[in-house]
């Protein structure tokens, strides 16, 4: 009997039904399929990744004209964050729809605009629930993070929003939490170790073009150049040409290769779990949502507590610091 093609990719996968498969797809198949899908649609992934890449490079441009305003850089950082969110939504949408892209790349970004705020709310809930789990020690925090790791696909594919998307992900992953976790951890090693080595190489090469002020003896590998790169969320005090060059070199493999492969892998995992478990019953979803609400409220309390402690600490330091002193000496 011929295998049925997966709707998300152009080549067939082994048939996956609740009767034929009782376990997750093997890690090797997930990785091989992820790289194959990326190769088949590399051009589309590059086009989608061009938008955040350009935004990341533009973040370094103010230095070229001598702009040093913190407010200006803060505005640029906000733009980069917003563009990154649009990029994530586009990738989730494109991967889940088999990279068909009938309206082209800009059509995907246009559609992402309609999902922007629900996506942000979903992400805020993840942060709150993970904080809430972390408040009960590390293991519950990890458990919440893993079980809600597929919520964004539930949001994009199933049209579920807020706690409903998280409950759907929780239902799929429950009973397979540690299998899902180790697959993500090993994948991270597979794709991120080469990337980190490349980052270090870029930093090392970049350090040879800087003076001792920018590449001190304590930073022989030029890691500060890497960590300050805007593609990684950091500011930059490097000379403008070097900052822009490092941004391009670091952002290109990140947006064009690494992140797409992670999303493809996640979607294949989502597909496998969905075929195995299907949708939760209304009663199951109600119980899961109740649990998630508890984690979310615990997270809100934890975040507020940390904010209050941090504010009081800053005020205390301000009060205890003599007027006119700007440092410890």
pLDDT value of position 9: 42
Query: CB neighbours of 259 closer than 8 A, spacing ≥ 6?
Result: 49, 91
**Among the ranges given (95-99, 100-104, 210-214, 302-306), the one the predictor scored with the smallest mean pLDDT:** 210-214
Has residue 128 got a pLDDT over 60? yes
Q: Strand, coil or helix: what is 110?
A: helix
Has residue 14 got a pLDDT over 50? no
pLDDT value of position 60: 66
Please give the average per-residue pLDDT across 38-65, as a whole number.
79
pLDDT value of position 208: 59
Tens digits of residue pLDDT in 234-289: 444 444 555 667 677 777 888 898 899 999 999 999 999 998 888 888 899 999 99
Tens digits of residue pLDDT in 155-189: 888 888 889 999 999 999 998 989 999 999 998 88
Q: What is the pTM of this model?
A: 0.73
In order of 25, 63, 195, 205, 221, the CA distances from 215 in angstroms are 46, 18, 21, 11, 9
C-alpha angle 82-181-189 in degrees, rounded to nearest 5: 75
Please give the average per-residue pLDDT across 120-140, as a whole number.
81
Residue 267 CB neighbours (<10 A): 25
Has residue 35 got a pLDDT over 70? yes
Has residue 321 got a pLDDT over 90? no
Listing DSSP states for 159-216 in one string gives ---THHHHHHHHHHHTT-HHHHHHHHHHHHHHHHHHHHHHHHHHHHHHHTTS-TTTS-
pLDDT value of position 192: 81
**Residue 292: strand pairing partners:** none
pLDDT value of position 270: 93
Residue 2 — very low, low, confident or very high, per pLDDT cuts 50/70/90? very low
Please give the average per-residue pLDDT across 308-327, as a whole number.
75
pLDDT value of position 20: 44
Structure tokens at 126: 């993840």
3-state helix, strand, coil in the chain (%, to 5): 75, 0, 25
Are the C-beta atoms of residues 81 and 64 closer than 8 Å to each other? no
For the CA atoms of the chain, what is the radius of gyration? 22
Domain ranges of the chain: 27-316
Q: Which residues of 36-68 are buried (b: 16+ CB within 10 A; e: fewer)?
A: ebbeebeebbbbbbebbbebbbbbbebbeeeee
User: Which among 11-15, 104-108, 145-149 has the top mean pLDDT?
Assistant: 145-149
**Of the candidates 204, 193, 195, the residue with the CA atom closest to the CA atom of residue 253:** 195
Residue 278 CB neighbours (<10 A): 11
Higher pLDDT: 69 or 56? It is 56
pLDDT value of position 232: 47
Has residue 6 got a pLDDT over 80? no
- What is the spatial distance between Cα 118 and Cα 121, in angstroms, rounded to a whole number? 5
Has residue 210 got a pLDDT over 60? no
């Amino acid at each position: 009997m011929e295998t049925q093609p997966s709707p998300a990719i152009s080549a067939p996968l082994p048939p996956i039904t609740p009767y034929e498969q009782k376990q997750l797809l093997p890690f090797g198949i997930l990785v091989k399929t992820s790289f194959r899908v990326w190769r088949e649609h590399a051009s589309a992934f590059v086009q989608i990744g061009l938008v955040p890449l350009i935004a990341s490079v533009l973040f370094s441009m103010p230095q070229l004209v001598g702009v040093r305003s913190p407010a200006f850089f803060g505005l640029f950082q906000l733009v980069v964050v917003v563009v990154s969110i649009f990029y994530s939504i586009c990738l989730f949408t494109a991967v889940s729809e088999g990279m068909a892209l009938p309206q082209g790349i800009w059509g995907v970004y246009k559609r992402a605009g309609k999902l922007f705020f629900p996506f942000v709310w979903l992400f805020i809930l993840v942060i709150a629930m993970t904080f809430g789990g972390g408040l009960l020690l590390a293991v519950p925090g990890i458990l919440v993070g893993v079980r809600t790791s597929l919520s964004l696909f539930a949001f994009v594919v199933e049209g579920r929003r807020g706690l409903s998307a998280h409950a759907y992900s929780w239902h799929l992953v429950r009973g397979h939490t540690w299998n899902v976790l180790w697959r993500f951890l090993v994948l991270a090693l597979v794709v991120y170790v080469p990337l980190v080595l490349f980052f270090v190489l870029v930093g090392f090469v970049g350090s040879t073009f800087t003076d001792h002020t920018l590449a001190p003896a304590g930073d022989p590998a030029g890691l500060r150049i890497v960590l300050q790169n805007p593609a990684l969320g950091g500011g930059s005090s490097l000379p403008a040409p070097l900052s822009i060059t490092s941004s391009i070199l670091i952002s290109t493999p990140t947006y064009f290769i690494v992140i797409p492969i992670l999303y493809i892998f996640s979607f294949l995992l989502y597909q496998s779990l969905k075929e195995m478990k299907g949708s939760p019953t209304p009663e199951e979803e109600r119980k899961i949502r109740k649990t998630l609400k508890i984690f979310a409220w615990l997270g809100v309390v934890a975040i507020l507590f940390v904010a209050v402690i941090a504010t009081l600490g800053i005020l205390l330091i301000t009060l205890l610091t003599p007027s006119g002193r700007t440092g410890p000496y």
